[in-house]
Amino acid sequence: MNRFYVMVGVLALVLGIGVFAMLRTGGATAPAAAAGAPPTVVDDSFRGYTLGQGSAPVEIVEYLDFECPVCATFATVQMPTIKDQLINTGKARWRFRDYPLPIHKYSRFAAHAAQCAGAQGRYFEMQDQLFSHHQWAQTGKDPSSLFRDFARDAGVDLKAYDVCMEAGRYAGRIEYSRQEGDQLAVDGTPTFYANGTKLFTSLRRLPNSDDFKTLVDSIVAHSPPKPRAPARH
């Protein structure tokens, strides 16, 4: 009889630990296919989501990590002014590329959540959610359920989102972007390039909106004028 109660007690303890773990992590587990690098990577010709006009004379490419606190600070503090001064005025186009750092446990998972939202035309809404509620990156907890809430608030259809996340549909795309960053000597996040040239390599702080305005204005001022189309007669 005593052995029976001991076994019941042990079982209750194990179940209790399991329930606690589920509550602590939100009751979900990050799908392995979306959390790690895939065994094979195929170029799907995707080169990142962009803001701005295709005719803009300057293209800024940003390699980012969604779990990176510096990336979150840049996105929430500097980007609103950059959008007003450079992107919305047609001076610059901004391209976002994934560069998940190995030191961040859920950076690939966050990038994949953004890509799955992007498949529904909601990439930037999801990006805003991930960066403006960046407390998730400091907890160390599995953010699966929280990201699903972010997707809902971003206007994403959750059924399609769930299928995309479970399948790890864009894991290869994310790894391709990371490998591309390696080839371009990305050495941290965020790293920026203007028309293919790496920026602010000697700057020992996060660049701000004034830095980008000065840079873009200089590039525009020194760019040769575009030839005029011949007049029609």
Contact 207, 72 (CB under 8 A): no
What is the DSSP pairing of strand 197-198 with strand 191-194?
Answer: antiparallel
Backbone phi, then psi, for 82, in 5-degree steps? Answer: -60, -40
pLDDT at residue number 24: 36
Q: How far apart are CA 105 and CA 109, in angstroms?
A: 8
Report pTM.
0.83
Nearest CA among 205, 217, 219, 226 for reference residue 78: 205
pLDDT tens digits for range 105-163: 999 999 999 999 999 999 999 999 999 999 999 998 999 999 999 999 999 999 999 99
pLDDT tens digits for range 161-188: 999 999 999 999 999 999 999 999 999 9
Backbone phi, then psi, for 58, in 5-degree steps? Answer: -125, 130
Give the residues across from 95 on adjacent strands.
50, 61
Contact 220, 89 (CB under 8 A): no
Contact 26, 146 (CB under 8 A): yes
Q: How many CB atoms lie within 10 A of CB 61?
A: 24
- Counting beta carbons within 10 angstroms of the beta carbon of residue 43, is it exposed (0 to 12), middle (13 to 18) or buried (19 or more)? exposed
Average pLDDT over every residue of 87-107: 97
pLDDT at residue number 13: 40
pLDDT tens digits for range 14-42: 334 333 333 333 334 677 667 778 888 88
Q: How far apart are CA 110 and CA 131, in angstroms?
A: 10
pLDDT at residue number 223: 82
Q: How far apart are CA 74 and CA 61, in angstroms?
A: 14
pLDDT at residue number 44: 94
Show the beta-strand stretches assigned E in the chain: 49-51, 58-64, 92-98, 191-194, 197-198
Q: How far apart are CA 136 and CA 156, in angstroms?
A: 19
Backbone phi, then psi, for 161, in 5-degree steps? Answer: -60, -45
Return the percent helix, strand and coil in the chain, to nearest 5.
50, 10, 40
pLDDT at residue number 227: 61
pLDDT at residue number 208: 98
Residues 94, 200, 135, 48: is their CA dihedral positive or negative?
Answer: positive
pLDDT tens digits for range 186-195: 999 999 999 9
pLDDT tens digits for range 32-84: 667 778 888 889 999 999 999 999 999 999 999 999 999 999 999 999 999 99
Q: Which domains does the chain have, with CATH numbers?
A: 31-220 (3.40.30.10)
